[in-house]
Amino acid sequence: MLVLSSPSGAGKTSLSRRLVADHAELKLSVSCTTRSPRPGEQEGREYAFVGRPAFDAMVAEAAFLEWAEVHDHRYGTPRAPVLAALEAGRDVLFDIDWQGAEQVAAGAPADVVRVFVLPPTMADLRRRLFARAQDGAEVIERRLARAPGEIARWSAYDYVLVNDDFDQAYADLAHIYHAERLKRARNPWLSGFVTGLLESAEP
């Protein structure tokens, strides 16, 4: 489970979409949210957009692996698709905030890798939020006001990227994913392979 967090506008969504596009074995977890779709967002692609009663019913049924209130709305990761992907041997990428990252890591510390994405400057963060023009000025100001609180969580993460240059940040993220995938503990097939290797050795 690869968890990516950042303040809004630091480029985490673009990084995560590209990592998933480049790796068939990596599945993006699609969250539920009570916020309204932005222009261009599609039901089931960016999020499952649900009303507050439906969201709260899922909380009551323990249908979320984690959930949190972010920017006045609720966001949660449905548990079942994540478990199904993991059982099928796939990796799962989460684009979630620090509260969700903490919950996912608490549930399975050895199976979670956490990556935090920082903007190069606060002015850059502001520029990117206004440039993507998906939210009104008031919503953007609220998100910017919350950025320092989110950024303050950086030291709980395994890796921290400064997204100054997108291609460089993406290359670093891909390296992190590849190296973490190669860890011995994540490749249980190795012990059988080594047994076979030794059995086939000439006396």
Q: Where are the beta strands (DSSP E) in the chain?
A: 2-5, 26-28, 31-33, 47-49, 64-70, 73-78, 91-95, 113-118, 159-162
Residue 167 Cβ vs ligand 5GP, minimum distance, rounded to whole Å: 22
Closest CA to 97 of 181, 13, 175: 13
Q: What is the nearest approach in angstroms of ligand 5GP to the Cβ of residue 110?
A: 21
**Binding flag, residue 19, ligand 5GP (CB under 6 A):** no
Query: Phi, psi at residue 97, to the nearest 5°?
Result: -80, 180
State which residue, 11 or 100, has the beta carbon closest to ligand 5GP: 100
CB of 25 to ligand 5GP, least distance (A): 21
Using rule CB under 6 A, residue 18 touches ligand 5GP: no
CB of 76 to ligand 5GP, least distance (A): 5
- Considering only residues 140-199, where is the footprint of ligand 5GP by CB under 6 A? none
Question: Residues 3, 8, 27, 147: which binds ligand 5GP (CB under 6 A)?
Answer: 8
Q: Residues touching ligand 5GP: how many (CB under 6 A)?
A: 16
Counting other chains too, the contacts that 100-104 makes at CB distance below 8 Å and 24 or more residues apart are: 100/3, 100/5, 100/66, 100/67, 100/68, 100/75, 101/3, 101/5, 101/156, 101/157, 102/156, 103/65, 103/66, 103/67, 103/68, 104/1, 104/3, 104/65, 104/66, 104/77
Helices 122-132 and 137-151: crossing angle in degrees, nearest 10, is 140
Indicate whether 31 belongs to the interface with ligand 5GP (CB under 6 A): yes
Q: How far is the CB of 187 from ligand 5GP (least distance, A)?
A: 28
- Residues in 55-114 at the binding interface with ligand 5GP, rule: CB under 6 A: 66-68, 70-71, 75-77, 95-97, 99-100
User: Which spans of this chain sit near ligand 5GP (rule: CB under 6 A)?
Assistant: 8, 31, 35, 66-68, 70-71, 75-77, 95-97, 99-100
